[in-house]
Structure 1
Amino acid sequence: MADKDNLAETPVDRAIARIRSIYGSWTRDTSLTQMRRDWDAAFAGYTARVARQQIAARGVDGEWIVPARAPRDRAILYLHGGGFRMGSMASHRDLIARMAEASGCRVLAIDYRLAPEHRFPAALDDALQAFGFLLYQGLKPKQIALAGDSAGGNLVLATMLAARDRGQPLPAAGVLMSPWTDLAATGASYESRAEADPIHQRKMILALAKSYLGEEGDPCHPLASPLYADLTGLPPLLIQAGDREIVRDDAVMFADKAKGAGIDVRLEIFEGMIHVFQMFPDIPQTQEAIAAIADFLRKELHIEAGEPAK
C-alpha cells in the first residue's frame, strides 16, 4: 500500500526535501569545497536536447549550450546563482538547457569566481569579461540578452549598470529569477516570509553578503546591491519570484524602482513558490515560468519560432 504521507507530498514539498537533504548532510567540519561538490552533484545532468561546447571567454571558463536550429547571431549570457559562494555551470546546466530549448536561443554560461576566495567585484569583472567576449565575437548588443537567478540576477543587473556607467552599449534585455538585489536585506519579506520560506533566513542571507563583500564592504554599493543604483537607461526586464521566499521583496522593490525610472519591467510573482523554483522541472509552475521567459526572450531578441541557424 502506498504511503499516505508520500501521496500528500506536492512537487514543491519534494523540491524542499531535496534541498534540505543537501544542507542536512553538512556539518561544521564540511569544507566549502565539499559543499560546492555536493551542490553541483545534486543538480547534475540535463534532459533538454542541446549541444555543449566548453570554451574560455576572455579567461573565464564557459560553456555554450545550444539547442537545435538556434540562430548564430543571437545569444544569452547566463549567470548562475548560489549566493556568490556556490553554484556553477554544472549545477545550473539543466535549467539553462531548458531555457535554451524553450527560447530557441543558444546560451553562454560561465563559472565566475566565487567568494570568499574572490570577493566583490571579482564576479562582476568576470561577467563583464564574458559580455565583452560576446561582443568580440561579432554580436551586436541588441542581439544579446542576460539572464540569471538569485545572485546571478544581481550580476545581470550589475553588469548592465557597470557597462552603462562605462559608456558601453547595453544588451537587449534581462531575465531575473528570484534576484538578490539588496545585500542589506531590508525588504519586509525578510520578516513576513520568514516562516513561509523553508530554506533561507535573513541571518543566512546577511552571512552570504558578508562573505561576498568582506568585513568592510558596503552592502548598499550600487554595483553590489542594484536596488540602490540609478536605474536610468536599463533595457526591458522580466522578473520572476516566488511568494514564499524571503527575498521576494528584493524583486518587488526593484521592479517598483525600475518602473519609476521609466524602465519596461514585467514582474511575475508565483503563489506558493520557493526561491528559484524554476530549477525543479517537476513543479508545474516551472513550465509556465520557463514558457514566459522564452516568450520574452524571443520577443526582445527577435527570434521567430523554429528560426534556422544563420
Structure 2
Amino acid sequence: MTAWDDVLPGRHGPIPVRRYQPQAAIAGPGRAAALVIWLHGGAFSHGGLDQLESHAVGLALAAAGHPVVAVDYRRVPPWSWWRRPRPGVLEGIRYPVPVEDVIDAVAALRREADDAGRELVLGGASAGACLAAAAALRLGAERGPRPDGLPLAYGTFHAALPPISRALRARIRGRHSLMQFRPSTVERMNRNYAGSPEAMEDPWAFPGGHDLSGMPPTLVLDADRDSLRASGDAFVAELGKAGVDVTNEIVPESVHGFLDRPGTPAFERGIGRAIRWLDRH
C-alpha cells in the first residue's frame, strides 16, 4: 500500500487530498473495488489529513483493497463550546464553501472512478458525515456526478439536535455524560458553520429533517454512548421514509470519535463493519 499527497481542482482553489493505493484491489467477480472519498470530522472547524480519523481510516480501507482519497476541505473558524455566536452573518469561510470543496472533489474523482470501472463511494465521520450527505443531496438535486454509496460514521445531520430517546439517554448517563454534545453545543457548532440564520434551514447545509428521496445506499454507523446518535437515529428514519436503502449499525460500548482511536476495539469493530458494507455494496 502506498500513500501520497495530491491536490484536486476546486472553485475556491486547489483542494489538498491524500491518496491511498492498495497493493491489490479486492472485489467481487467482474468488478473493481470502489474508490472511497473520505472526509474527516472536527466540528467543521478542526482536523486535517494527519488526523487519525482521516489517516488511520485511509490506511485501513486501503489495506482492505479499496483505493481512498481523503479530502482536506476548507474549514470554518474555531468556535466556543460556551459562547453563542454573535447574531447576523458571520465573516470568513462558512457554508457553502466546505461542502462545495466536497462536491468539486466528487466531480474530479467521479471521472477517475469511471475510467477505472469503479463505483465511487463518499463517506465521512461526524461533521464529515454531514458534508458527505449534504453533498450527495445537492448533487442529486442538481443532477451532478453523484456517489454510488454513503458510509457515514457518527454524523451530525440536523441543524438542531433531535430529541434524545429514553434508550439513548440511558446509555449516556453518569460518567458517560461528560463531554457529550448537548443541544446548545450543537446549535453553537452548526451556527458557526452555517454563518447565517438562513443557512441553518438549508437542506444542503444540514440534510436532516428534509426530503432525502433519491439518496444512494447509505450506511449510518453510530456510537453506542454518543448523544449525537439522536441525529443518526432520526436520519435513519428519514432515509427509510424516503425509500432509501439504509443500513444502521451501532458499535457497542463506543463513544463519539471512535474512528479517531486506531488500535481500540471500537475502531476495529467500526472499520470492520464499514469494510463489510463496502464489499457488499
Conservation of the 8 A alpha-carbon contact between 2:40 and 2:48: yes
Show the counterpart of 2:155. 179
Look up the equivalent residue of 1:109 and give its one-letter code: A
Given candidates 244, 250, 271, the residue that maps to 1:263 is 244
Q: Return the index of the structure with the highest Cα Rg.
A: 1
Letter paired with 2:74: R
Matched residue of 2:254: which SS? coil
Q: Distance in 2 between matches of 1:53 and 1:223?
A: 31
Of residues 50, 63, 67, the one that matches 1:101 is: 63
Report the aligned-residue RMSD: 2.2
Q: Secondary structure at the match of 1:267?
A: strand
The CA deviation at 1:168 is 2.2
Once the two structures are superposed, residues 202-257 of structure 1 have per-residue CA deviations (whole angstroms, 9 ceiling, x without a partner) of 23322211211124344232111111221111111111111211101111110011
What is the CA-CA distance between 1:172 and the residue it aligns to? 1.5
The alignment's TM-score, normalised by the length of structure 2, stands at 0.82
How far did residue 165 of structure 1 move? 0.6
Q: CA deviation at 1:125?
A: 0.4
1:101 is matched by which residue type in structure 2? Answer: A
Query: Structure 1 residues 206-215 or 82-91, which shifts more?
Result: 206-215
In structure 2, the partner of 1:201 is: 181
SS of 1:226's partner is coil
Higher helix share: 1
Aligned-pair distance for 1:142? 6.4
Q: What TM-score does the superposition give when structure 1 sets the normalisation length? A: 0.74
Q: Specify the alignment match of 1:155 in structure 2.
A: 131
Quote the Cα distance in structure 2 between the aligned partners of 1:187 and 1:75: 35
Quick one: percent identity of the two aligned structures? 25
The answer to whether residue 112 in structure 2 is matched with residue 137 in structure 1 is yes
Gaps of 5+ in 1: 1-49, 301-310
Contact 2:110 2:145 in 1 (8 A): no
Cα displacement (A) at 1:183: 2.3
Kindly indicate whether the alpha-carbon contact (under 8 Å) linking 1:194 and 1:246 is maintained by their aligned counterparts in 2. Answer: no
In the alignment, the residues of structure 1 paired with residue 219 and residue 99 of structure 2 have an alpha-carbon distance, to the nearest angstrom, of 20
Task: Answer yes or no: is 1:67 the counterpart of 2:25.
Answer: no
1:39-71 C-alpha deviation (Å, 9 max, x unpaired): xxxxxxxxxxx3112211112111111221137
Q: Deviation at 1:287?
A: 1.6
Unaligned stretches of 5+ residues in structure 2:
27-31, 78-91
Q: Displacement, 1:118?
A: 1.0
Does structure 1 residue 231 correspond to structure 2 residue 212?
Answer: yes
